[in-house]
């Protein structure tokens, strides 16, 4: 194909796993000691807020021990050099895209480094812990929760994402299992709208059959290669 004019990129746990972030599908680490329904649902939070606040406090603190990898850095390079439209959507709640140099990242599942106030509903940047019930920076109520989208909650900015999917000519999915909706359905939206769909993943995903092309391997290798391809084509 020729040079794409509009690209939507979706990243998932696979891109962060290579930086050493625990994901809920990986063996070992924090997730293995907890059930998803206890730490990643509104009901779990209502039942045991201390457990949930502590779980996310530990995950937020663990960000200090990981660093972005060449896949994050390549996507930041693409953002700076690509002349067309680019939307980077991530399912990840870590800050590795930002630390890799991306300036515009849509965190559809929220962010560890953000607090959501259950009193005033404002979102505030957050770097410390929440277990001691610190006040909301906006309304001062001691009612913060992790600004992470839990199972059963609506992801952020779906309208903007679907509009971009409908108008892109290239959709690229990186390191996602294709198992968690609505993100798992993005490829079908983009394809129905006429976009070419490329998957970069460690192994074939549940949604692989919807892509025009699947490349298998580590994101830290595949993503820089693909970014070079796009940028060299743009230079022709």
List, by residue number, the catalytic residues: 109
Three-point CA angle 53, 57, 62, nearest 5°: 150
Instruction: Report the distance separating Cα 38 and Cα 210, nearest Å.
Output: 33
For position 139 contacting Zn ion by CB under 5 A, the verdict is yes
For position 138 contacting Zn ion by CB under 5 A, the verdict is yes
By beta-carbon proximity to Zn ion, the closer residue of 138 and 231 is: 138
**Interface of this chain with Zn ion, residues 164 to 203, rule: CB under 5 A:** none
For position 144 contacting Zn ion by CB under 5 A, the verdict is no
By beta-carbon proximity to Zn ion, the closer residue of 53 and 136 is: 136
Residue 117 CB, nearest approach to Zn ion (Å): 3
Residue 231 CB, nearest approach to Zn ion (Å): 43
For position 134 contacting Zn ion by CB under 5 A, the verdict is no
Task: Find out whether 171 and 190 touch, Cβ atoms under 8 Å.
Answer: yes
Residue 140 CB, nearest approach to Zn ion (Å): 7
By beta-carbon proximity to Zn ion, the closer residue of 20 and 125 is: 125
By beta-carbon proximity to Zn ion, the closer residue of 119 and 180 is: 119
**Interface of this chain with Zn ion, residues 91 to 120, rule: CB under 5 A:** 117, 119-120
Contact residue for Zn ion among 13, 105, 136, 187 (CB under 5 A): 136
Q: Using CB under 5 A, which of the segments 40-48, 133-141, 157-165, 216-224 binds Zn ion?
A: 133-141
Residues that contact Zn ion, how many (by CB under 5 A): 6
Residue 142 CB, nearest approach to Zn ion (Å): 9
By beta-carbon proximity to Zn ion, the closer residue of 136 and 227 is: 136
Give the 3-state DSSP-derived string for the chain, with helices as H, strands as E and coil as C.
CCCCCEEEEEECHHHHHCCCCCCCCCCCCHHHHCCHHHHCCHHHHHHCHHHHHHHHHHHHHHHHHCCCCHHHHHHHHHHHHCCCEEEEEECCCCCHHHHCCCCCCEECCEEEEEEEECCCCCEEECCCCCCCCCCCCCCCCCCEEEEECCCCCCCCCHHHHHHHHHHCCEEEEECCCCCCCCHHHHHHHHHHCCCEEEEEECCCCCCHHHCCEEEECCHHHHHHHHHHHHHHHHHC
Chain contacts with Zn ion (rule: CB under 5 A):
117, 119-120, 136, 138-139
């Amino acid at each position: 194909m020729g040079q794409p004019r509009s690209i939507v990129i979706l990243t998932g746990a696979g891109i962060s796993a290579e930086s050493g972030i625990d994901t809920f599908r990986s063996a070992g680490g924090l997730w293995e000691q907890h059930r998803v329904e206890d730490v990643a649902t509104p009901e779990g939070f209502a039942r045991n807020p201390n457990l949930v606040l502590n779980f996310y406090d530990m995950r937020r603190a663990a960000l200090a021990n990981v660093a972005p990898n060449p896949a994050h850095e390549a996507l930041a390079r693409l953002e700076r050099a690509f002349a067309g439209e680019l939307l980077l959507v991530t399912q990840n709640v870590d800050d590795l895209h930002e630390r890799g140099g991306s300036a515009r990242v849509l965190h559809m599942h929220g962010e560890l480094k953000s607090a959501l106030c259950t009193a005033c509903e404002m979102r505030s940047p957050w770097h410390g812990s929440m277990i001691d019930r610190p006040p909301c920076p906006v309304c001062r109520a001691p009612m913060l929760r992790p600004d992470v989208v839990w199972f059963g909650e609506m992801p952020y900015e779906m309208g903007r994402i679907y509009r971009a999917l409908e108008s892109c000519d290239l959709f690229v999915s990186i390191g996602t299992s294709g198992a968690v909706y609505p993100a798992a359905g993005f490829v079908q939206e983009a394809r129905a709208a006429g976009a070419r769909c490329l998957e970069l993943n460690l192994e074939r995903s549940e949604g692989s059959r919807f892509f025009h092309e699947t490349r298998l391997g580590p994101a830290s290798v595949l993503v820089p290669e693909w970014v070079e391809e796009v940028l060299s084509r743009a230079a022709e």
